[in-house]
Amino acid sequence: MAQLALTLARRWARVPVPLQVAVIYLVARAVTTALMIVAALQSTSLSRFGADPGLGDFVVGWDAQWYWLVAEEGYPSTLPRTDSGDVGESAWAFMPVFAYAAKGIGFLVGSWGAGALLLSFGAGYLACLALNRLLRERIGRAAALWAVTFFAFGPLAAMFQVGYAETLFLLLLFLALDATIRRRYVWLYLLIPVMAFTRPGILAFALYLGLHGILRVLRRREDPLRRLEVVHILAAGALAVACGFAWQLIAGVVTGDVDAYLATELAWRRLWIVGGVEGFIPFEGWVQASSFWFAQWGLPTGWGPAALALLVVALAAALLYLPQVRRLGPDLRLWSASYLLYLLAVFFPQSSTFRLLLPVSPLWGALAVPRSRLWRLGVLAACAAGQWIWIFHVYALGNTFWQVP
């Protein structure tokens, strides 16, 4: 038996990386499909999807409906208003690239939903390849494949098979991170605008580029920094900032309301905060949410901000000092810190928080570094268990405020 396992391991090692990743990805998608079928069987009339939904209903469910609306009707020139006069929910909260790309594919295969599924599925595989390329020179070939496995089987793996923009954004992000780390800055001029109009987050990449530039200046003796590279870093950073605010400008011009985009985003937050939200204040969302959730859990609300501060300190310490994280290299740590700071500044944490953490997926590499087979299999089992918990609550149940993907 041991000899057979050794023989299989050697043969697996000789398989080309794209094929290895394809095998891992297809097995992961088969597991996700099976879990979604079970979820469909357990769905009831109390669920958002009703009794006996099909997998196609899950593909176009939740936010996928907004992307479909964008593809079919575009963006409204007049912002919807609630009974209280506040700006209501609208398509302006959703970027156009995924919606229209899915429509283009759907034109060939028969429906927007089919196009969205194929786009998410295909982008997911390419994102796995890009993640493997991003990690293997830092943690080794075997560990990189394990990181890809955790990513493909992860708790949010349903995103690979539904009409959300996440996997397309992750593909573009991993390519942009790889281009930056390999000093191929020219590619950023193409990737940044597409990223910016796929889903929010490009301002975090602008911050990362700034920190990357500072790091290169500090290390210019051991890592020479050419003048042309300085120009590219500054230009790409400026492009990312411009693209990050471009959607707000576009929404303002089309609707005639300069605050159209931010007000639309806040429309979702108002559903959580008693008394509503007056306007956007950076970092306020997490402070409000910490008190909100502690109240929901029956704990003193005053503990919320203190717990939030401890969480921020713990995450910073992990990025700075954990040896497994340090193995990923400074750029991936800087990106993770930049994105987490961005979330802290703009987001109100609720059930979608887990989905919004997908851009820090390179951190799967830290969990793949330990070579213990028992450890890696344990992480994989935890990924699969987390995936089922997510799918069950979001798709089989989906009937309360904390079950929104």
pLDDT at 318 over 70: yes
Q: Which two tokens stand for residue 135?
A: 């990690």
The 3-state DSSP class for residue 87 equals: strand
Residue 292: which of 301, 283, 284, 279 has the closest Cα? Answer: 301
Q: Collapse the DSSP code of 112 into the 3-class scheme (helix H, G, I; strand E, B; otherwise coil) and give the result.
A: helix
Q: What is the pLDDT of residue 4?
A: 67
Its domain, for residue 387, covers: 16-397
Q: Which pLDDT belongs to residue 2? A: 62
Q: Between 350 and 327, where is the model more confident?
A: 327
Average pLDDT over residues 15-21: 92
Residue 3 within a domain? no
Taking only the tens place, the pLDDT of each residue in 367-402 is: 999 888 899 999 999 999 999 999 999 998 887 767
Binned at pLDDT 50, 70 and 90, residue 129 comes out as very high
Q: Say if 148 falls within a structural domain.
A: yes
Neighbour count for residue 182 (Cβ, 10 Å): 12
Q: What is the pLDDT of residue 274?
A: 65
Q: How many residues does the chain have?
A: 405
Angle at 235 between CA 329 and CA 328, to 5 degrees: 5
Residue 224 lies in a domain: yes
Q: Could you tell me which of 352, 38, 60 has the C-alpha nearest to residue 49?
A: 60
DSSP letters, 228-261, are: HHHHHHHHHHHHHHHHHHHHHHHHHHHHS-TTHH
Is 8 within a domain?
Answer: no
- The answer to whether position 405 is within a domain reads no
pLDDT at 75 over 80: yes
| Mean pLDDT, residues 227-249 | 97
Per-residue burial over 252-262, b = 16 or more CB atoms within 10 Å of its CB, e = otherwise: bebbebebbbb
Please count the CA atoms within 13 angstroms of the CA of 323 that sit on its side-chain side: 2
pLDDT in tens, 139-172: 999 999 999 999 999 999 999 999 999 999 999 9
The span from the CA of 54 to the CA of 404, in Å, is: 19
Q: Do the domain assignments include residue 9?
A: no
Taking only the tens place, the pLDDT of each residue in 265-296 is 888 887 777 666 677 788 888 888 887 778 87
Mean pLDDT across 339-359: 89
Residue 5 domain-assigned (yes or no): no
Q: Is the pLDDT of residue 109 over 70?
A: yes
If one counts the domains in the chain, the total is 1
pLDDT tens-digit profile of 32-66?
A: 999 999 999 998 888 888 888 999 999 999 999 99
- The mean per-residue pLDDT over the stretch 85-96 comes to 90
In a domain, 10, yes or no: no
